[in-house]
Amino acid sequence: MLTEEELVQRIADGQLVESVEHMSAGYLAELKRILLISADTELLGAVMYYPNLIARRVPEKTVGAFLAVIQDELGHAHVDYRMLEDLGEDADHLVYGRAPQEFKHPYAMDMPYDTFAEVALVGAFMDRAGYVLLSDVFEHTSYFPWRRALVKVNKEESFHINFGVRNLRLLASDPDTRAETQRAIDWMFPLTVEWFGLPDDLKTHDKQLRYRLKGCSNDQLRQTWLSQVVPLVEELGFEVPARLDPGTHRYELDFPFPCAFDEQEKRWDFDNPVTWNDVITRWKCRGPANARLVEIFQAGRKRLDALREAA
């Protein structure tokens, strides 16, 4: 492995990192951390769709595309866990050996999505957030195996976004589903704004930027997402608490960021600002669907282990 100074100089010279031999200990630790977040996000991105398929909340004509999205997300998770194995981690343990609250996906994925409008917004909002992040990684990352993997992954993520947007347009065109869709937007829009993490002025040091694992800051990525989502929602005649400031050409939020969220009622209290420490506490506690979603993909392994023990 390289020293920290050698690694930083290698990155400054524009060289890419191919294997552990080209890393410092700090780079390896941060790369594992961000890859685990990506892997867990892809895995839960598949699983969070599953209850809606079983409950038949998905229109029959969309089932094929819906299954394709689930298959893609599982494939993306496999890619990330496989890279973690190359870095010395036990992928089997990461998938089957951790408790639900130990997974590192965004808090938004631990909410129950109970209507087709909410499912459509998962694609239009949350898959887009993932794509914004991974596009930045693809363009800027110094870890070359990840860049290679993202050529295919990002093409498929683009399909997931389009799937969500097509369904959102269908919902917008039907007077009977517009009110339900607006209710979903009301709670899912701020939740996805949170997806990008702490504001830049609260981050004392960003190792991902230092190691060029990504190229843009949290607020820059959040602005990219807002610049795509706000015009889309407004075009369809829905409302979101955000607007473009003509002077700065930046999107500004019309609510305290952060503020209190009632996860049981799926409702934000814009009159009740909170601290980011409050938000981080909520994230660490995980959301109401966390245990159920993890149980979906761990249940089969648990039954298999029980059969082995009984044999």
Residue located via tokens 């997931």 = 160
Residue 258: cis peptide before it, omega within 30 degrees of 0: yes
Q: What is the mean pLDDT of the chain?
A: 95
User: What does the pLDDT look like over 107-145, one tens digit per residue?
Assistant: 999 999 999 999 999 999 999 999 999 999 999 999 999
Q: Which helix (H) or strand (E) holds 1?
A: none
Predicted confidence at residue 53, as pLDDT, reads 74
How many CB atoms are closer than 10 A to CB 283?
Answer: 16
Q: How far is C-alpha 51 from the chain's CA centre?
A: 18
User: For 64-84, b where at least 16 C-beta lie within 10 A, e where not — what string?
Assistant: ebbeebbebbeebbebbbebb
Q: Are 197 and 106 in contact (CB under 8 A)?
A: no
Cα separation, 294 vs 311, in Å, equals 26
Separation between Cα atoms, residue 243 and residue 248, nearest integer Å = 11
155-169 pLDDT per residue, tens: 999 999 999 999 999
- In degrees rounded to 5, what are phi and psi of residue 215? -115, -20
Amino acid occupying residue 1: M
Closest CA to 228 of 309, 82, 152, 130: 130
Characterize the bridge pairing of strands 250-253 and 259-262: unpaired
Are 75 and 137 spatial neighbours (Cβ–Cβ below 8 Å)? no
pLDDT band per the 50, 70, 90 thresholds, residue 225: very high
Beta carbons of 118 and 184 less than 8 angstroms apart: yes
Q: Is 236 helix (H, G, I), strand (E, B) or coil?
A: coil
- For 262, residues 6+ apart whose C-beta sits below 8 A from its C-beta are 268, 269
Q: At the fourth CATH level, which superfamily is domain 4-310?
A: Ferritin, core subunit, four-helix bundle (1.20.1260.10)
Q: Structure tokens of 258?
A: 């952060």
Measured distance CA(91)–CA(82) in Å, rounded: 7
Q: Which H/E stretch holds residue 185?
A: helix 178-194
pLDDT one-digit tens code per residue, 244-302: 999 999 999 999 999 999 999 999 999 999 999 999 999 999 999 999 999 999 998 99
Give yes or no for a contact between 17 and 10, defined as CB atoms under 8 angstroms apart: yes
**Residue 71: its pLDDT value, please?**
95
pLDDT value for 50: 83
pLDDT band at 199 (very low <50, low <70, confident <90, very high): very high
